[in-house]
Amino acid sequence: MSPIPARSSSARSTTSDVTSFFAIAILLCFALSVPMVFRLVPTDVDNLITPILQLTPLLAAVILWLVRRPGTFRETFATRWRGAMGWAGIGIGLIAVIAAAQTSFALATGIWRLNPLDEILAATVWVIPVFLMQSVFAIGEEFGWRGWLATRAASWGFWRLAVVSGLVWIVWHLPVLAVIGDRPFWDIVIYFAGMLPWAPLLLALRWRSGSVWPAVLTHGAINSVRVYLLQSVPNATDHLLIEVIGWVLTLGAAVWLMRKSPRPAR
């Protein structure tokens, strides 16, 4: 009879830790974003506040790790490098292929037009520097969401963890509303909905590799390579069909990565 209460106690402990992580990360993010949200500082300072906000998932995870001490930092946050670069290459490649497919479809159907060549070349120079910068910024997010959380809540299973963490990730992003300006309601809905498919893909890379680094570098590619292919190469405008194509392909990539791996690599 004893194994059942033990499993129940373990499940409650996991839920308690995960809920605490979500609460701490969101509260820290919201608290630190107050100067930006309420315009207490010049808008130029927003670019300095945003990287600080990205550290809040890591801070929340470190707090819980220090309290619980479930294992070493390396084990709990999955910081090993062995085999990580190959999976990072797969992740970055998927980002590039998905964005290129969206842009190609939009150009072929006349939804978007190509930017002048000189503008494309000028933007190309910045892809690698921006990728490196965005990857550094992504460490704070990924060490929390796909590092500590993926380890602590592995018993939830891949899709449950991906969906729950993805929804909370959207809530955590709400301070972004302060910097995206006045936009139509449905544009905002689409903007935030577009974040949800990234959670399964990033988690799949962490799950398959056993390392947080592929998620970190792929997150960096989302904010650099993807932006370049969708905004610098074409003269892009908001278009729901192009967004939906991206969502479907991203979820498809996550399904493809997880097709033979029900359990996380260690």
E-assigned strands of the chain?
Answer: 113-114, 234-235
Residue 3 has pLDDT above 60, yes or no: no
Confidence of residue 65 (pLDDT cuts 50, 70, 90): very high
Q: How many Å is the maximal CA-CA distance in the chain?
A: 72
| This prediction's pTM | 0.94
Span 33-63, pLDDT tens digits: 999 989 899 888 888 999 999 999 999 999 9
The CA distance from 222 to 198, in Å, is 9
Strand partners, 234: 114
pLDDT in tens, 234-263: 999 999 999 999 999 999 999 999 997 666
Looking up tokens 């070493």 gives 72
Residue with tokens 């997010």: 141
- For residue 262, report the phi and psi dihedrals to the nearest 5 degrees: -70, -20
